[in-house]
Structure 1
Amino acid sequence: MDKLEQKKKLLQQKMNRLKEKEVKVKIAERKQRTRRLIELGGLIEKAGLSELSVTQLLGALIQIKDQSGSEETLKKWSSEGEAAFNKNKGSVENEKPILIKFPIEPDLSVRKKLRSFGMRWNSVRKEWEGIADPIAIKAELNHIEMSVQEIHP
C-alpha cells in the first residue's frame, strides 16, 4: 500500500508541474499576442489611418485582405512599406540621443511626425526624447519654433 501511495504522490507532483508549465506557456502566448496587437496598432497610426472610424478601418482591411492574393501586389506593398519605415530615418551615424522642447504645445500633425521619427513624449519633463537624426527633424519641422538639444553621455 505504501508503494502505491508513493506512486500516486509522484504522479500528482508530475501533474502539478505540467499544469505550471502549461500556465507559463499560456502567459507567454498571451504576451506575444498582446505585443503583436500593439505593433499592429502602431502600424495603423504610422499609416495615418487612426482617424478612420472602426467600421471604415475594418472595411479597408477587408479590401486589403481581398487584394493580398497576388504575389506582385505583396512585393509592391513590401517595397512601399520599407520605404515608409525608412522615410523619416536619417542615416544611422547621424542618429543621436536628443531632447526637443516647444514654447507652445505642437499640434497633432507635428506630434505624429515626431513619433514617426521614433521620438516619445516625456510627460514629467514636458519634452520629446529619443534617438533620431536631429538634422532630419529640423529639416522636416523647419516651420515650427523648437529647441533641439543633443545629449552627450
Structure 2
Amino acid sequence: MTDALTKLDKLKAKKAELEAQIRSMHARETAKQRKADARRKIELGGLVLKAGLGQHDKGELLGGLLALASQIGSDANAKAAYKQAGDAALAGKK
C-alpha cells in the first residue's frame, strides 16, 4: 500500500509541475501578445503624428479614418495611391 501511495504522490507532484509549466507558458504567450499589441498601437500613433494630425480631436481622427476605410475598401486605385504616398513619406520623401 505504501508503494502505491508513494507512486500516487509522485504522480500528483508531476501533475502539479506540469500544470505550473502550462501556466508559465500561457503567461509568457499572453505577455508576448500584449507586447506585440502595444507595439502596434505605438506604431499607429506614430503614423498619426508623422501625418501631422496629433493636435486633432480623437473623434475627428476616428471619423476621418472611418471615411478613409470606407473609401479604400471600395476603390483599389485610391488604395494604391494612398499606399504610394505613405510609403514615400515613410522613406523620407515628400
Query: Which TM-score applies when normalising by structure 1?
Result: 0.54
Q: Where do residues 19-98 of structure 1 align in structure 2 (5 Å cutoff)?
A: 19-69=23-73, 70-88=75-93
> In 2, distance between residues paired with 1:34 and 1:10?
36
- CA deviations 1:50-87 (Å, max 9, x no partner) are 11111111110111111121332221111111121234
Identity %: 30
Q: CA RMSD in A?
A: 1.6
Structure 1 gaps of 5+ residues are: 90-153
The structure in which a higher percent of residues are strand is 1
Q: 4+ runs of 1 displaced by more than 3 Å?
A: none
Structure 2 gaps of 5+ residues are: none
Computing the radius of gyration from Cα coordinates, the structure with the larger value is: 2
**Count of residue pairs brought into register by the alignment:** 89
Partner of 1:18: 22
Structure ranking higher on relative contact order (CA contacts 8 Å, 6+ apart):
1
The structure in which a higher percent of residues are helix is 2
